[in-house]
Amino acid sequence: MPALQPARGTQDLLPEAARRHRRVSDTARETAALYGFAEIATPIFEFTEVFARPIGEHTDIVSKEMYTFTDRGGEEVTLRPENTAGVVRAVLSNGLTQSTPLKYFYSGPMFRYERPQKGRFRQFHQIGVELLGVATPQADIEVIALGQRILKELGIADRVVLELNTLGDPESRAAYRDALVGYFSGRRAELSEDSRRRLDANPLRILDSKDPEDIRINADAPRFEDFLNTQSSHFFADVRAGLDRIGIGYRINQRLVRGLDYYTHTVFEFVTTDLGAQGTVLAGGRYDGLVELMGGPAMPGVGWAAGTERLAMLTVEPPGAPRAVALVPIGEAAEARALILAEQLRDAGFTVDLGYSGNLQRRMRRADRIGARAAVLLGDDELARGAATLRDLDSGAQSEVALDALATHLAALR
Ligand code: ATP
Ligand code: MG
């Protein structure tokens, strides 16, 4: 019988990978705290309606990527495909709309039924932030600065470029949408099948198509900047000026539209060429209409989400776990004593690996394999004298030390 396999698009995080992930989420959490963002955790599944309408029925996520099922009580629930809608739902459920601004950080697994490939999974992880209740460009600038600082802390700022665009306010967006529909309708026959479908449902998304023929047609499409009303152009100019002021470089990308329906004004992505086709590591924007759409008061918002797997792939080797002390009991009395000694050394803050079984040679091989810093050999005779043999596994030096001086000797090796 073949060994059991993980479900397609899911993966195990073995310790090395788990350490990389941990480094990404810890760095992000600590950096977010510097900006006053506090961690929030919402459920991994929600009623389907929490996602369906806010994200938009014509988006890829809602139309083909959600893990939706009816539970045993007959409720329709969905594994969260992203966390913005869940955070807004939590703000509304907990009656937090009066205490703005609200600043949240989150980290955790998301689920999308996608075709798995490098950097694209069905269960993946995101870190992200949401800033609710601030209508001015400072909020956009701060969340982008926070994203940039996290990338810098992870040592990958040099490998990404910030792309920036605006989708304007709803009025500008509606005018632009009409212009796009006019333009693309004239060339309908040349569009890819996907884009023909988008033409009725979500025409802005055509701009973001990867199809070569669509890309050719997109080159002559009307430009959003010509349809921005005064208020929207000012907003975008202020965002750019703020980024300039704090030295954050960016590239305007007129084709940058986000997949979700609820974005307004600023949209941005940090992209890299180092991950093949899955080059977007961190993406977000302003979503002023979302809270109201979800049944709350009019409340602006801006945020981003980043793929933990993609960030982890770009990070340099994370610092290893602290090196252990291997305890190697030899003989029955020593076995019993080793359990106690291991607890005492852990009380003193040492990482201790207890050899559970096998002869001396086998236990020393394990000490070697886990990269232990030192081995403490406990023989029955030595124990009777209240001592043990301490071996420095880097230098090979070895000496007998009194048990009550062991912690001091080990500390000297750290
Ligand atoms: P893409 O264009 O790559 O499908 P998206 O627009 O669907 O991305 P968002 O919803 O903006 O992605 O999610 C934010 C980030 O989460 C992405 O930039 C990416 O880093 C990560 N991400 C999204 N989907 C996946 C996935 N299936 N596997 C791994 N990471 C993902
Ligand atoms: Mg996607």
Distance CA 129, CA 32 (A): 8
User: Which protein residue has the closest C-alpha to ligand 1 atom 7?
Assistant: 259
Instruction: Indicate which ligand has the atom closest to the C-alpha of 115.
Output: 1
pLDDT at 259: 64
How do strand 280-286 and strand 264-271 relate by DSSP bridges?
A: antiparallel
Instruction: Indicate which ligand has the atom closest to the C-alpha of 303.
Output: 1
Q: Which atom of ligand 1 is nearest to the CA of 284?
A: 11
Q: Which residues line ligand 1 (CB under 6 A)?
A: 82, 112, 114, 119-121, 124, 126, 259, 278, 280-281, 283, 305-307, 309-310
Q: What is the pLDDT along the chain (414 residues), one digit of tens a residue?
A: 578 999 999 999 998 899 999 999 999 999 999 999 999 999 999 999 999 999 988 888 999 999 999 999 999 999 999 999 999 999 999 999 998 999 999 999 999 999 999 999 999 999 999 999 999 999 999 999 999 999 999 999 999 999 999 999 989 988 999 999 999 999 999 999 989 988 888 888 898 888 899 999 999 999 998 999 999 999 999 999 999 999 999 999 988 987 666 789 999 999 998 887 778 999 999 999 999 999 999 999 999 999 999 999 998 777 777 899 999 998 888 988 999 999 999 999 999 999 778 888 888 999 999 999 999 999 988 999 999 999 999 999 999 999 999 999 999 987
Report in angstroms the alpha-carbon separations of 175 from 171, 265, 290, 304: 6, 14, 20, 26
- pTM for the predicted model, two decimal places: 0.91
DSSP strands (E only) in 297-342: 301-307, 325-330
Instruction: Indicate which ligand has the atom closest to the C-alpha of 124.
Output: 1
User: Which protein residue has the closest C-alpha to ligand 1 atom 28?
Assistant: 120
